[in-house]
Structure 1
Amino acid sequence: MPDRGDGPPRYRTLGADLDLSHFQRLRRGVLAALLAAAFLALAVVGSSHGQAVHELIEQVGFALMVVGIAGRIWCTFYIGGRKSAEIVDAGPYSMTRNPLYLFSTVAAAGVGAQTGSVILALAFAAGCALAFQPVIRREERHLARLFGAPYQAYLDRVPRFVPNVCAYRDRPEMTIRTDRVYRTLTDGLVFLAAIPLFEGIELLQAGGYLPIRLLLP
């Protein structure tokens, strides 16, 4: 099978776009599977906190979801339509190689917090971060084949996941793909669906329709 790096730039970009679209579908699939599994499991789990603390945790979780969605949109300003054409190393990508996954993890913590449990919020974040690791490694191998030594230098300079805020750098101007921004916003709204879903679960639990098997702080 010919190397996608061979041939005219137009064909290299087309092949790279096809590969990256696979990773994007895989990323969405991972998120969907995590959310579905979480909702099924949490139907029988409740919070051990009182009402005031429970509500506070939910509000903090909502803030985390907003930060996660806004952060994903911020990333799309820089990476949208460029990932297969150049090494993006400005803005959020100057601090971490995978800010989209980082902000998705923040939003996942917010989803878990809608249960009123700090433990579940942390578990959601940890599960999301761990589930993304195989996808991240596959993307890195693909981009290393595509860009070679310059991408290896980027790997050596910028951390994979935990951001180095001191390394932040920006570019004076850039072109924003609005279609990618709208798509990212639409994808991010899935996180907010956790609010009515978990409220519905709580109502069913309060009415005795869903028995609570486990209480978590």
Structure 2
Amino acid sequence: MTATIARPFNQKIRILALRLAFLGLLPLTLFTRPAISGGAADLLETAGILAILLAVLGRFWAILYIGGRKNRTLLREGPYSICRHPLYLFSTIGATGFGLMLESVTLAAVMGGAAFVILSLTASREERFLRAAFAGYADYAREVPRMLPALRLFHTPACLTVDTGTLAGNAADALVFVTLIPLAELLR
């Protein structure tokens, strides 16, 4: 019997699943109208914009820590001290924000829920590799929640080395969420 070697999860599958979910939800965004109007609708839109900005800033924060180190080291500082998959957390917040920008609590729940499910499944698959690759991962997984943050666990080093090349390369991933703001305006 030969042992199988754990390999990192293919991120193209995650990206494809998210794109298909977005396309699947597109008719819902095009053919439904929000039941809320006036000041409440404005509050939802503002909350959506803030959620999208939080998603962008949060993804940059996580990339500062993990950039150039993914699958090479077990990172437990900064955003990775409060949840094991902060990039997925902030992406879920961004998807929820897009639904809020469309002035719909229902769309926010569906979009955020779809992103959360897809990214949770992705995280589960990634963790198979991480458990095999890093001896301390099982302890880390017991101590730190997967995607819902435990702010009380936060800690960070006094100094952080940043891989600027990876940061720049991943900037487009984070900034995709900024394009949701004019897209929401167009759809409304």
TM-score by length of structure 2 reads: 0.90
Seq. identity, %: 29
Give deviations 1:124-166, integer Å, cap 9, x for gaps: 1111111112211110001111113x11111111111211111
8 Å CA contact retained: 1:61, 1:109: yes
SS in 1 for 2:33: strand
* Contact 2:62/2:79 (<8 A) preserved: yes
- What's the CA shift for 1:177? 1.4
- Number of aligned residues: 187
| Aligned partner (choices 153, 157, 160) of residue 167 of structure 1 | 153
Partner of 1:197: 183
Contact 2:99/2:108 (8 A) holds in 1: yes
Task: Flag structure 1 segments of 5+ consecutive residues without an equivalent.
Answer: 6-15, 203-217
Which segments of structure 1 move beyond 3 Å, counting only runs of 4 or more?
1-5
- 1:63 alignment partner, one of 35, 50, 60: 50
Q: Show the counterpart of 1:153.
A: 139
2:131 aligned to which of 138, 144, 147: 144
The 5-angstrom pairing of residues 11-26 of structure 1 reads 19=8, 22-23=10-11, 25-26=12-13
Q: Is the contact between residue 56 and residue 178 of structure 2 (CA under 8 Å) also seen in structure 1?
A: no
Q: For residues 180 and 156 of structure 1, what CA distance do their matches in structure 2 show?
A: 29
C-alpha distance in 2, partners of 1:3/1:126? 33
Identify the match of residue 166 of structure 2 among 159, 180, 190.
180
Answer yes or no: is 1:112 the counterpart of 2:99.
yes
Residue aligning to 1:90: 77
Runs of 5+ in structure 2 lacking a partner?
none
Confirm or deny: 8 A CA contact 2:47 2:97 kept in the other structure: yes
- Contact kept, 8 Å, 1:90 with 1:169, in 2: the verdict is yes
Provide the rounded CA distance (Å) in 1 between the counterparts of 2:47 and 2:167: 25
What are the superposed Cα offsets for residues 102-131 of structure 1, whole Å, 9 maximum, x if unpaired? 111111111111211122212211111111
Q: Give the deviation of 1:63 after TM superposition.
A: 0.6
Scaled by the length of structure 1, the TM-score of the pair is 0.79
Aligned to 1:129: 116
How far did residue 167 of structure 1 move?
0.9
Q: CA RMSD, aligned part only?
A: 1.9
